[in-house]
Each structure stands twice: as structure tokens, then as C-alpha cells.
Structure 1
């Protein structure tokens, strides 16, 4: 069995590490470069970096910050935000990322998924999904809708159907963020995560809502996630990554322990 992964998430706005609740009320809380190095030294399995306003502002990602982070860590590094074309993907990978997360850009141009997979390999292409609960309908039978532009624009796409489409186009992984749970520290949306894991054959990263190591353990054991994205609980110093991994491993979940 593969080890489950713990992945700190760095949401970046104007070059600063930021955090909000349900995609609103963001406040700047630090330096993403120093935070990335800190989490790497603690034993994070990967780092995810999102330029959270790039798509909504219609601009490219801040490559200088990506380069600085990449120079300070030596674990897989995934970058998203404002990535719309194959050239955008190439620029991010050349800046030092190992993976590219496409979200809003992929909804608007699904071919970018297949183009990226063909050029760089499926393992480099992560389909990022920001998902919100809505009433079930003919168009959205699962009751989970994809929302883009940092949670600002509903798409009318059913999340499970879009995930299957993304997988067919060549995405190698899905990062599934629940807008409803984001920043609440009340736990991941296990129903959404479980449905997603059952719908696709590629790894699913649970995201949104982690408030304790038990929440991550639940995402692994109850919903089948391959990895868990975390933010608030480490950004605010409530837990260290070693504490998180030790707690989860004690529940019988295979973790990569490096200290």
C-alpha cells in the first residue's frame, strides 16, 4: 500500500501567504517562501502553491515567487493559478515546479489537460477543482457543482462528471477542494471525497476543512483519499507536521516518516 501524503497548501495573494474561510475574508499571514521551507524541513510530502487571484484578475502567475519557493525545497511542488495554456504550464515547470494544477483554465479550455499530459506526462497535470454543494438537478445530479475564478463563478458542471472528463483527457491526479468546508476546520467533506474517489481511477487529494489530525485520518480511512491538503492548522501553529503524521500513523495508516 502506498503511503498517504500530507501536503501543506500555500494560498498566495500579491506575493504574500494568505488564508480565508470559504474563499472569503482572506488575511495575509506570512511569507510563502519561508513557510514552504519550514514545512519541507518538518517532513511535508509535497507543497502546493496557489496564486488565488490570478484567474480572476486575468493575469499569469507570479513566477518569481515560484522560483524562490522551488529553490528552497526538495520535495514535489505543485503550482496553480492563472494557468490557461501549454506555454503557461511550461513556464511554471521551468520555474521549478514538478506539477501544474489547472482549474479555471481547464474548464474554459479542456484541451489544455490533454496538451499538458502529452507534452509533460500525466503525472505533471493535476486537475484542481473548487466544488460547492447545490440542489441536485438534471444538470448537476450529484449535487456538487464546479466553481471557478476562486469560488466566484458557478459553471453549471457536475463535479463528478467533470472529474471523469479530466481523467479521460489525461489528468494524473485530482485536487478536490470543498468550498463549503474551506477554512472551517470542521473536517473534510467526506461524502464529496468518497464519491470522487469512487468516480475516478486516479489519486484524489482531499482539501478544505482540516482542523485536526483525525480529520485527515478520516479522509484516508473513510473516504479513500490518497493525500490530504492542510493549511490553517499548520499556518497558525496548532500542529506540526510530525505531530500530524505520528497521530495518523498510530491509527494504522501508512505514512512516510523521515525524522
Structure 2
């Protein structure tokens, strides 16, 4: 049986790790380089680094900070935020990232997914998708961009399918409704997308207990669970969460 992955997310604003609730009221919680090193030593499977203001401010990735994080971790490292051109993808990979997350920029220019996958390989291109409940949408969920601040006309399920057809090798699905609330992942949308695409789906938004991860990795059909608050401020460690998951029968790398 394939092992489920535990991924820690570092949301970065102005060079510092930050955390908010439903994409708002972000507070400074530390240095991303030091935090990346700590989670690597705890046994995290992958690390995701999002520059949450880059697209909104119209600038590219912070390559110096990315390279300093990459020097501390020897696991897959995904970077998102402000990556809007093939040259941005190339420079981010050269700075040390193994994967590139395209979110707002992919919505604005879907060809970036296709061209990025063709040049760097599908395994390098991750679709980052921020979705929220919306009864007007066929799937019941709408896609948002620019850090959850701007609504689009895209249906979450249709966009996921289209992105995979263009070459995305993975999807990070972030529920805006559940983000930072710590009440559990949004199982409905996660399962719906996981069952309808042929690539791994990473659940993001809402993790507050190891049971929440177990639920989304089994019932929600996610291939991986992304966590932030649990390890940033709730006293959990990555290895402790993995041991708890192992005890209840969820296959993880110990």
C-alpha cells in the first residue's frame, strides 16, 4: 500500500512565516529557514513554501530565501507564489525547489501549466487551488485567486480536471472555508476531486488533530495531508503525528 505523505506548509509574507484564519489576520510566527530545518529534522515528507503576497503585489519569487530554505532540507520542496513565467519556474528550480505550485498565475495563463510540464516534467508542476463552497457552481465549489481574495468563474472540479489535462502532476486543494479553523479538512470537495483526477491530491486547510488527517487520508481519499497550525502553534510534532496515524492504521513513513 502506498504510504500517505505528511507535508508542512510555510506561508511566507515579507520574508517571515505567517499564519492566518481563512486567509486573513495573518500574524508573524517565525523564520522560515529555521522552521524548515526543524520540520525536516522531525521527519516531514515534503515541505511547501508559499509566498502569499507575491501575486497580489505583482512580483516574482524570493529566490534568496528559497535557496536558504533548500539548503536546510533534503526532501521534496515545493514553492509557490508569484511564479508567472517559464523563467520564474526555471529560476525557482535552480534556487533549490523540486516542485513549483501554480495557483493564481495558472488561472490567468493556463498555458503556463502545459509549457511548464513540457519543459520541466509533470512531476514538477503542482496546481495550487483555493476553493470555497458556492451553490452556484456545478460541483458546489468555486475557485478563488490572489490569496483567496478574488473570486473566479471557475468551478473547482472542472478546473482540477483541466489542469491535469494540461499537465499538472499533482493538486494541492486548499479549502478556504476550513483554512486555519482546525476543525477538520473539507472531506466532500477533497474526495470529489481525488476520485475524478488521475494525479495525487493533497488536502490542505483545517487540520487540528491526527484524527483529522486520518479522516482526509482515508474517507477523503487524499494522497497527502498538508499541515501548518498543528506544528506551528498547537504543540504537535511531525513524528508524533505520524506515530498516531500509524497506530490507527494509516500507512505513513516512520
1:80-123 C-alpha deviation (Å, 9 max, x unpaired): 00111111110100000000000000000000001111111000
| Structure 1 length-normalised TM | 0.97
Cross-structure match for 2:9: 9
Cross-structure match for 1:86: 86
CA distance in 2, matches of 1:144, 1:108: 19
CA distance in 2, matches of 1:61, 1:96: 12
Cross-structure match for 1:24: 24
CA distance in 1, matches of 2:36, 2:193: 28
- Residue number among 173, 184, 189 corresponding to 1:187 in the alignment: 184
Q: How does 1:110-129 map to 2 (within 5 A)?
A: 110-129=110-129
> Structure 1 stretches of 5 or more lacking a match?
none
Q: How does 1:1-259 map to 2 (within 5 A)?
A: 1-135=1-135, 137=136, 140-257=137-254
CA distance in 1, matches of 2:198, 2:234: 35
- Give the secondary structure class of the aligned counterpart of 2:195: helix
- Give the secondary structure class of the aligned counterpart of 1:34: helix
> Structure 2 stretches of 5 or more lacking a match?
none
Q: How far did residue 237 of structure 1 move?
A: 4.4
CA distance in 1, matches of 2:61, 2:179: 22
Q: How far did residue 189 of structure 1 move?
A: 0.2
- Flag as ranges the 4+ runs of structure 1 deviating above 4 A: none
- Give the secondary structure class of the aligned counterpart of 2:17: strand
- Give the secondary structure class of the aligned counterpart of 2:82: coil
Number of aligned residue pairs: give it: 254
- Let me know the Cα RMSD of the aligned residues: 0.6
CA distance in 2, matches of 1:91, 1:145: 31
CA distance in 1, matches of 2:216, 2:246: 13
- Give the secondary structure class of the aligned counterpart of 1:74: coil
1:20-64 C-alpha deviation (Å, 9 max, x unpaired): 000000000100000000000000000000000000011111111
CA distance in 2, matches of 1:56, 1:199: 30
Q: How far did residue 198 of structure 1 move?
A: 1.1
CA distance in 2, matches of 1:199, 1:108: 23
CA distance in 2, matches of 1:253, 1:201: 21
CA distance in 1, matches of 2:247, 2:153: 41
| Structure 2 length-normalised TM | 0.99
CA distance in 2, matches of 1:188, 1:53: 24
